Structure 1
Amino acid sequence: MNPILIAVLPLFLGFILDLLIGDPHNWPHPIRLIGNTIDKFEQFFRHFSSKTRGGEFRAGMLMAFCILVLSFFVPAVLLGIAYKIHWIAGVVIETVMCYQILAVKALKTESMNVYKELEKNDLEGARQKVSMIVGRDTENLTEEGIIKAAVETVAENTSDGTVAPMIFMAIGGAPLGFLYKAVNTMDSMIGYKNDKYLYFGRFAAKLDDVLNFIPARLSGMFMIIAALFCGLDFKNAARIYRRDRLNHASPNSAHTEAVCAGALRIQLAGNAYYFGKLYEKKTIGDDTRPVNKEDIILSNRLLYGTAWIALIVCMLGMVVVRWLI
């Protein structure tokens, strides 16, 4: 069997499986297992660490190292055994792993659940649905705030849940994809700048910034191209990207949000409450028109267009590199 085809197939088939199946809530999932492990490890390492700033930082760094080792080597060993048995066994198992790493359909499904509640004029239901996909406080969000939260989540996770994992899988297969998702999951769980996680979660948050630095910028480029093919305002997307791509405390999060805001000709971001505390944040995009629930559909169209472009680029990159080698 052609080794280039064996290398490329799991990513392609995993992507197709993700679009077809998504992430059924009642199915076991390795990313949820990683999340549960982070929760258990946090309790363990906090118990044995000093309560000083340095002690919390070292405990968080050691915990992150253990999570990364497990997240990379467990799938690497499983795949090593599978590929030794037969290349078909290896491709099948790695395809399932790649499928589990990606979150394109799940992101669309969860954001469209918010849309469906807004369609029924059920603001409380929409707040509950959006609370499942955002980290901010949602109990007092207006309809506009709910829509913005959903659109921003789709935009940001176009990189974190789609493009970035593809890039890492293209470089190092499913094991490197799981390592990336472990870092991303740690950041979402302990990467907050509050009293509890300011020092314990700092290493994980900084590592997430480092790993996402290039993928976030590539995601922005891919999304601008996708805006053209999706019939959205790609010129304004490029303009807002150049202007507002750094309008966020994170060096990476605003890149895809800026493109999305420009493509949809709306304004995103701004102040938000987290754990009862108001955080002042810059806005992204121009307030050209009021947001409406249809923007959730448009953001998902942009997500899918970007995902396909990223897949094509990653597969071509894999073919070229292996052909040169």
Structure 2
Amino acid sequence: MILITLLCALLIDHLLGEPRRFHPLIFFGNLARKLEKRLNQGSHRKRLLMGIAAWLILVIPIPLLVVAVLSFVPFYIAFLINVYVVYWAVALKSLTEHGMQIYQPLTDNNLSQAQHYCAYIVSRDTSELDAQAISRATTESMLENGHDGVTATLIYFVIGGAPLVIMHRLSNTLDAMWGYRTAQFNYFGKCSARMDDLLGFISAKVTTLLFAIVGLFNGTAKMALFNAYQQSKTYKSHNGGWVMAAGATVINVCLGGTAIYFGKSVQSPQLGQGEAVQSKHIKMSLTLVRQAVCVGLIILFFLQWILF
């Protein structure tokens, strides 16, 4: 039923996209913002402790509640709950829509529109980015969020079911909201950033392997794994470094460089290897994520067939 659950959730996501109303993550984000305003005050030590408390309050209860519910409801209800959880946690169609609404203006030479939509998905300042910088920012985002919002959900459902999917997705959302080294979040968001690193460790490695398997078809598999291991050492995000370095290698592009975050210039190391980034790599990165999903489902099918 694991494979059937994933296929049903992906089909619903393909047909409907993200929930337009009553999206759980929107409600969760609003709750997190209110809690942060109340708790993110005082000394550095207090902010650090309050950040830990906020993470525990927001992330732990819901997976425990789902464990309890799944233990008592009939099988068909449990199946529907699992499908729904994977559906709202996976974001394959949403990722594609966000990437394409940047790719299309770039191909139409509409730089201002591309800058506008790029600002939706990245934390760097996009107002002064040229077409190549927008292509780089978007390609990086597609690869990293392809892990955070797509492959990680599928991987953790296989490992720990709906409760682990929820824990990872909520923790990843808090990292996206609070995991910045700014005056406001440097201490309060430290727990969220570290927990997201921990919860994404396994899924980032599995996603890297899936990218590498796709790379077998164009001869980049070995180099993708090598770059993921070497280049991630100097990247700000361990998990993101693995995923982006491997993905960029497979689609034959060199990522990294200078970007402005919260008014500060940040130099990122090289990720991947190949040609200079162009708008076409946005589309290629989205294709790679879809291919990785397909490879993962095929592997799961054969594993279940062999084992059961």
Superposition TM-score, scaled by structure 1 size: 0.87
* Long gaps (5+) in structure 2: none
Work out the CA distance in 1 between the residues paired with 2:141 and 2:196. Answer: 17
For residues 199-233 of structure 1, give each alpha carbon's deviation from its aligned partner in whole angstroms, at most 9, with x where no partner exists.
0000111111111112111111111112334x574
Are 2:231 and 2:269, in contact at CA under 8 Å, matched by a contact in 1? no
Asked if the contact 1:239–1:262 (Cα under 8 Å) also holds between the matched residues in 2, the reply is no
Unaligned 5+ runs, structure 1: none
Whole-angstrom distance in 1 between the partners of 2:148 and 2:201: 11
Distance 1:37 1:80, change over 3 A: farther
Q: Return closer, same or farther for 1:232/1:160 CA change in 2, 3 Å cut-off.
A: farther
Contact kept, 8 Å, 2:180 with 2:186, in 1: the verdict is yes
1:181 aligns with 2:169: yes
The CA RMSD over aligned residues, in Å, is 2.2
Percentage of matched positions with identical amino acids: 27
Distance in 2 (alpha carbons) for counterparts of 1:150 and 1:274: 15
Q: Distance in 2 between matches of 1:194 and 1:93?
A: 38
Instruction: Give the 3 Å change call, closer, same or farther, for CA 66–108 of structure 1 in structure 2.
Output: same
- Structure 1 counterpart of 2:156: 168
Residue 318 to residue 164, structure 1, CA distance change in 2 (3 Å): farther
SS of the aligned residue for 1:279 comes to: strand
- Work out which of the residue numbers 218, 221, 232 in structure 1 matches 2:209: 221
Aligned to 2:116, the other structure's residue is in SS state helix
> Which of residues 287, 292, 297 is equivalent to 1:306?
292
Q: Which amino acid aligns with 2:11?
A: I
User: Pick from 13, 18, 22: which aligns with 1:18?
Assistant: 13
Q: Deviations over 1:180-215 (max 9, x none)?
A: 101000000001011110100001111111111121
Out of 242, 246, 249, which is 2:236 matched to? 249
Offset at residue 262 of structure 1 (A): 1.3
Aligned ranges 1:38-117 → 2 under 5 Å: 38-46=32-40, 51-80=42-71, 84=73, 86-117=74-105
- Is 1:278 the counterpart of 2:259? The answer is no
Count of aligned residue pairs for this structure pair: 308
The superposition leaves residues 276-308 of structure 1 with CA deviations (integer Å, 9 ceiling, x where unpaired) of: 11112212233x433221111111110101112
- 1:128-143 alignment, distance < 5 Å: 128-143=116-131
Contact 2:179–2:189 (8 Å) recurs in 1: yes
TM-score (ref. length: structure 2): 0.91
The alignment partner of 2:148 has SS state of: helix
